[in-house]
Amino acid sequence: MLFHSPKNPIELKILHLNEAQKQRREDLMEATQGKDALKQFKKTMAKKAKQALKAKSKNKKKGSSTNTKSQVFVLDFDGDIKAAAVKHLREEISTLISAANKGDEVVVRLESGGGLVHGYGLAAAQLVRLKEAGLKLTVCVDKVAASGGYMMACVADNVVAAPFAIIGSIGVVSQLPNFHKWLKNHDIDYEMFTAGDYKRTVTVFGENDEEDRAKYQEELEQTHELFKHFVNTYRPTLDVAKVATGEHWYGEDALKLNLIDSLQTSDSYILARMEDSEVYALHSRQKPTLAEKLGLAQAAEATLTIAVDKLPDALARFDLNSRLNILK
């Protein structure tokens, strides 16, 4: 997905958080203390910047290493059951790997309750790419990083979570209904043809026997073992046997169990990094089409929603009129 079709281009927006925060601070100062106070503040800051530049130039002449600010890049991952956000995450990571310097930090604000194994496996692998490129990785969890979400989080050099964030759930779950008895009661046959003893085990419509269930359970256990091995690889000091029960914990308890490294909100962490680093937020999205820019797509969607909402009433009136016509 590194190179998208021209029909579905991805655009990347970059926000310099230091400058954005500075502008907000100045706006607040002007509103609360007046323009004179703001003017004096700007003079003071300009003086400090001039002194810092002078000191930097002096050190350079002496041959000492310059103390330049490091760079921090902020990414967001809001995961659904399919981990669909990996489409944009991989683009952002590819851009960073090609542009960032070794030693720079990437902060991923992660929110996910987990989902499909292959989807979150790919998302976790994307984060591994950052570490392989020599970048420091921090994952911040404000609400939840469970199951597949924790699979991603555990890759980080530093996992930061809010005190009541949900962490863990290192387990695998699968469930499905079975309609075999209902079909049998209605004299409906269901046939399935496979090649290979275990091409299908448990099914929704077929009759499941103990051998099917045992094989399916075996596959779940294998997936769970892979999950535990992955967590142990990136957090070797974690007692995986103790936490890989499918349970989840809130931030404070997760810290005691070594599932995370510190308690802090992503806002606090990023503000602290802004004191000695240049912090940039990256956000990619699929470039809107002309119809979306003009609002035509939204208008069509709204019209469809209204039509669907009114459909039951329309059908009810139609049914009533039909019966009235029959009674005539």
What's the CA gap between 175 and 152, in Å, rounded?
Answer: 23
* Whether the Cβ atoms of residue 152 and residue 169 lie closer than 8 Å to each other: no
What gap in Å lies between CA 159 and CA 171, rounded to an integer? 19
Q: What share of the chain is helix, strand, coil (3-state, %, to 5)?
A: 50, 15, 30
In terms of Cβ atoms closer than 10 Å to its own Cβ (0-12, 13-18, 19+), residue 129 is middle
The one catalytic residue among 147, 169, 277, 284: 147
Residue 209: what residue type?
D
Q: Which of 35, 181, 199, 328 is catalytic?
A: 199
- CA dist 125 → 77, 249, 254 (Å): 14, 24, 23
Two structure tokens written together for 168 = 């863990």
Give me the residue label for tokens 């100045």.
26
Of 247, 271, 263, 256, nearest to 150 by C-alpha is 247
- Measure the CA–CA gap between 194 and 289, rounded to whole angstroms: 43
Whether residue 147 lies in the annotated active site: yes
b vs e for 263-290, b when ≥16 Cβ sit within 10 Å of the residue's Cβ?
Answer: bbbbeebbeebbeebbbbbbebeeeeee
Which of 175, 167, 155 shows the shortest CA–CA distance to 113?
167
| Catalytic residue numbers, as ranges | 147, 199
